[in-house]
Amino acid sequence: MATVFVVGAGPAGLFAAQKIALAGHETVVFNRDVKPGGLAEYGIYPVKDKMKFGLRKQFAKALALPNLHYFGHVPVGSHSPINIESLRELCPAAMVFAVGAQGNKKLGLPGENAAGVYSAKDFVYFYNLLPPFASQDFSTGKRVAVIGMGNVMVDIARWLLLDCPDRKTEEVIVIARRGPLEAKFDEKEFAHIEMYLDRKAFQEELERVKERLAAVGQDVGKVPEETFPCLVKNPDQPAVDARLKFRFLSSPVEIIPGPDGRIARLKVADNILVARDGGTSAKTTDKTTDLDVDTLIFAIGDVHDQLVGLPCGPSGYVTNQGTEPRCSYEVFDPMTGKVMPGIFVAGWARKASEGLVGIARHDGETGAAHVLQYLAGLQAPPHSASPDEIARFLERKGVQAVSKSDLSLLGTVEEREAKARGLTYFKYSDDADMLAAIEQEKSKASEPVAQ
């Protein structure tokens, strides 16, 4: 039997690890966050309790496997005491990187570094209480622009309009490069915010863009039935609270900060649509408009984190270009022109921002199947470090890793806190608090029992 390292404990990493462990191999998971789950824990909308509880149960089942070992609070990369080279010193037979897509897509706009400008992933990490984002400044103001027209935009608008405790947001303006017929969100998700749609402003916006849509054969009259069915369901219903606006065929071109360094205006350029390869592409024109906004959130997808140390190209971690199904899971080093033997990627680390949890699970399991095939082809697996040796190695490197038994202590404390606060679920939003709670629980367990 071999030892396989899995880096990342989101859905892709955990389901990959489960499959490899069930095949009988020692499987060691290293995870940046104290807790497992990745975006399933820290991205999925906070009130989707049923889904989150279900996923936590499945993750706990995987972690309960005796030959699956967990080291949380261990980021791997050039920014950490543990990088790919240090993992290699421990001689795993194979490594799967399921680290998601942790980089931020930058458009290189003037003013992009102004205060009040955020990437969607960081912002959802903040409201889902992932350390350290939970304690950083993600303040939002009265007028928030969200760039992008997918489900992540809907989550953010929902948070700002409905669930954000400070309820400061007076208006959310969705800015979309393309037209209303190319909205990417699901009807079920949009239903959570449709009552905020400013219908009068929406009709005016359709009027504003209809000729540009018609130029590529898009009929604005089809918008209600195709992408905004709420307009068909309740055609005459006025918005309960008209605070959600759309600006179509627009691209951000400049962020203009105010004297306090926070975004004060966003310059957007009008786009036209150009027919291309049976579809359309958006082309920016010279016509610009300034919008008064004090917060800007980019919900345009994520990119891979270069600091992890895997070879990175324009579309993310570089994989084998071959045509066999396993190739796109094998990491390829353009410097040597060769596949990196035994190094795989899965989930959003393979294809950034691709699909829901079910897809990430499937991708993790498919990646694991390729790893198992690779292991079967090895003449003799290397003599890898044991979990105890790995724990000592991390300690020597100054890393305070969190084990499976630590996770269970943390779970006990959080359950107790939830009960005490009358909540269905409680989670700490700071690594130091989690580590302290674990230590406290450990010392309680070692106290002599009073006679």
Ligand X SMILES: Cc1cc2nc3c(=O)[nH]c(=O)nc-3n(C[C@H](O)[C@H](O)[C@H](O)COP(=O)(O)OP(=O)(O)OC[C@H]3O[C@@H](n4cnc5c(N)ncnc54)[C@H](O)[C@@H]3O)c2cc1C
**What are the residues binding ligand X (CB under 6 A)?**
7-13, 30-33, 38-40, 43-45, 48, 75-77, 98-100, 102, 121, 124, 152, 155, 308, 347-349, 355-357, 360
With CA atoms as reference, report the closest residue to 176 among 77, 127, 245: 245
| C-beta closer to ligand X: residue 138 or 201 | 138
Q: Contact 8/345 with Cβ under 8 angstroms?
A: no
Number of H helices, E strands in the chain: 14, 18
Of 353 and 386, the one with the shorter C-beta distance to ligand X is 353
DSSP of 174-197: EE-SS-GGG--S-HHHHTTTGGGB
Cα 12-44-166 angle, rounded to 5 deg: 150
Smallest distance, Å, CB 339 to ligand X?
21
3-class DSSP assignment, residue 295: strand
Instruction: Compare residues 43 and 252 and give the one whose CB is closer to ligand X.
Output: 43
- The CB-of-138 to ligand X minimum distance in angstroms stands at 14
Angstrom distance (rounded) from CA 368 to CA 205: 48
How far is residue 125's CA from residue 10's CA, in Å, rounded to a whole number? 14
DSSP 8-state code for residue 326: G
Any bridge partners for residue 144, and if so which? 172, 295
**Smallest distance, ligand X to C-beta of residue 175, A:** 18
For residues 154 and 124, give the distance between their C-alpha atoms in angstroms, rounded to a whole number: 12
- Beta carbon of residue 345, minimum distance to ligand X (angstroms, whole number): 9
d(CA 242, CA 239): 5
Report the nearest approach of ligand X to the CB of residue 317 (Å): 12
Joined together, the tokens standing for residue 231 give: 């307009």
Choose among 367, 402, 392: nearest CA to 90. Answer: 392
Nearer to ligand X, 154 or 272 (CB): 154
Compare residues 33 and 198 and give the one whose CB is closer to ligand X: 33
CB atoms within 10 A of CB 57: 9
**Of 26 and 155, which has the nearer Cβ to ligand X?**
155
Cα(116)–Cα(10) distance, integer angstroms: 28
Which C-beta is closer to ligand X: that of 155 or that of 198?
155
To ligand X, the closest distance from the beta carbon of 382 in angstroms equals 22
30 or 196: CB nearest ligand X? 30
